[in-house]
């Protein structure tokens, strides 16, 4: 075998080349490591989410994923929830970021409860509740229900449900806690008006039958229709009461919508059409820049002429469809509004399926009166503001009804 000899010069050359390659390899490895460690936070969790966002946006999502990864690395509670639960939590936060109490994301369990609420029959207490000024509030206890009999009042702030704090709780979540089996009890901690101490209510749930309407002809010839809710058949039932009014020979009418939490928009439009000239606007749905507004106009037939004298009673428990009808009668100068500021619930929600077992309830429009006033902003201001105190109520007095009667008696 031929012996290969390597000179010292060649050996140095080989050694330098090897060292250079080694240094390049080290630089490559270090650079790769640094680049991997400082890669966008979303790249660190692709194995979890399996996809990148498809929405075009200028928003920087890096802080979100950095929070995700920091929670994974440092939180002592990280192993108590699944990655999917965190996604549901993030979706709930995203919906809440709009500051709209009616836009809510329902993860699987809450979605099931919500669907049960709108499709099944449950025991409850018969109180319409909602979030007002970021506080869970009683819009109205319905006549003759457990809430009414227990003494709940419009405007009561519900601070706890069965000892659970309601801070930042949505109305849907609160309803799911309040509803339950007939005969069982729910405990409510309530703050009323300017009182400094809370009140505790133990209310036995029952099957709720929501009253719609009743009427009476007063000895002074004034006809009063008490209108409690806008149900699916309320237009027909209200129409029956109008027939009684017409048959009574009276031309002085009080519609009492205090504590009416609203309901079906179609009922408000149908009833309004009997008082307002055909073709005149009753309410419009404003979709912002998403699409042109939907305008609901009177379809008639208008049943009354200028001889009709009418007062509508409203208060903080008058909401939704009750505000639509009241606002239309007020702005078309058909009726005088008497009472206190209405609740201010004038928005339209749509339920959008997100996955097979989750959904998003999102506000898609707001209701505007014929003059373009948003009901959601502050509610309606009566033409004649008349407070009604708890002391007056307890004493059996009704200054708002008295004022309505006084207004009608002053007219020929």
The residues that are catalytic are 320, 331, 345
Residue with tokens 């008006």: 193
Looking at residue 44, the DSSP 8-state letter turns out to be G
Q: Give the integer Cα–Cα distance in Å for 296 and 270.
A: 10
Contact 341, 381 (CB under 8 A): yes
C-alpha closest to that of 103 among 352, 362, 359: 362
Q: How many Cα atoms within 13 Å fall on the side-chain side of residue 204?
A: 3
8 Å CB contact between 130 and 347: no
Do 179 and 123 form a contact (C-beta atoms < 8 A)?
Answer: yes
Cα distances from 14 to residues 2, 4, 21, 26, in angstroms, run 21, 15, 11, 18
Residues in the chain: 412
Cα–Cα separations (whole angstroms), residue 30 to 11, 17, 34: 29, 20, 6
Residue whose pair of structure tokens reads 């003059």 in the numeric block: 371
Count the alpha carbons within 13 Å of 12 in the hemisphere toward its beta carbon: 3
CA distance 204 to 186: 7
Contact 387, 403 (CB under 8 A): no
Phi/psi for 311 (5° steps) reads -125, 140
The Cα 34–Cα 29 span in angstroms is 9
Please give the Cα distance from 406 to 262 (Å, whole number).
27
Helix (H, G, I), strand (E, B) or coil at 84: helix
């Amino acid at each position: 075998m031929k012996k290969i000899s390597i000179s010292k010069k060649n050996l140095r050359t080989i050694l330098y080349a090897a060292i250079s390659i080694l240094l390049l390899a080290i630089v490559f490895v270090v650079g790769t490591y640094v680049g991997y460690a400082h890669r966008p936070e979303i790249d660190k969790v692709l194995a979890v989410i399996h996809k990148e966002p498809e929405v075009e946006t200028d928003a920087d999502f890096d802080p979100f994923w950095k929070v995700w990864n920091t929670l994974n690395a440092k939180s002592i509670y990280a192993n108590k929830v699944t990655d999917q639960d965190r996604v549901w939590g993030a979706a709930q936060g995203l919906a809440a970021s709009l500051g709209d109490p009616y836009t809510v994301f329902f993860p699987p369990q809450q979605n099931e409860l919500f669907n049960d609420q709108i499709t099944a029959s449950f025991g409850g207490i018969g109180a319409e509740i909602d979030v007002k000024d970021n506080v869970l509030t009683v819009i109205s206890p319905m006549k003759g229900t457990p809430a009414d009999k227990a003494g709940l009042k419009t405007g009561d702030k519900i601070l706890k449900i069965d000892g659970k704090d309601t801070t930042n709780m949505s109305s849907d979540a609160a309803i799911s806690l309040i509803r339950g089996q007939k005969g069982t009890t729910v405990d409510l901690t309530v703050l009323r008006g300017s009182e400094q101490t809370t009140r505790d209510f133990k209310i036995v749930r029952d099957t709720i039958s929501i009253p719609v309407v009743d009427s009476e002809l007063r000895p002074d010839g004034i006809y009063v229709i008490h209108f409690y809710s806008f149900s699916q058949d309320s237009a027909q039932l209200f129409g029956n009461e109008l027939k009684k009014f017409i048959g009574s020979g009276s031309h002085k009418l009080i519609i009492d919508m205090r504590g009416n939490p609203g309901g079906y928009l179609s009922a408000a439009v149908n009833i309004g059409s009997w008082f307002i000239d055909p073709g005149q606007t009753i309410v419009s749905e404003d979709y912002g820049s998403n699409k042109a507004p939907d305008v609901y106009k009177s379809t008639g037939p208008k049943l009354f002429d200028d001889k009709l004298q009418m007062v509508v009673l409203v208060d903080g428990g008058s909401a939704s469809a009750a505000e639509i009808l009241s606002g239309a009668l007020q702005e078309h100068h058909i009726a005088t509004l008497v009472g206190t500021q209405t609740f201010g619930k004038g928005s339209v929600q749509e339920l959008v399926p997100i996955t097979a077992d989750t959904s998003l309830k999102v506000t898609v429009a707001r209701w505007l009166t014929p003059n373009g006033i948003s009901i959601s902003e502050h509610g309606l201001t009566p033409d004649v503001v008349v407070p009604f105190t708890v002391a007056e109520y307890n004493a059996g007095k009704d200054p708002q009804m008295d004022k309505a009667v006084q207004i009608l008696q002053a007219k020929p």
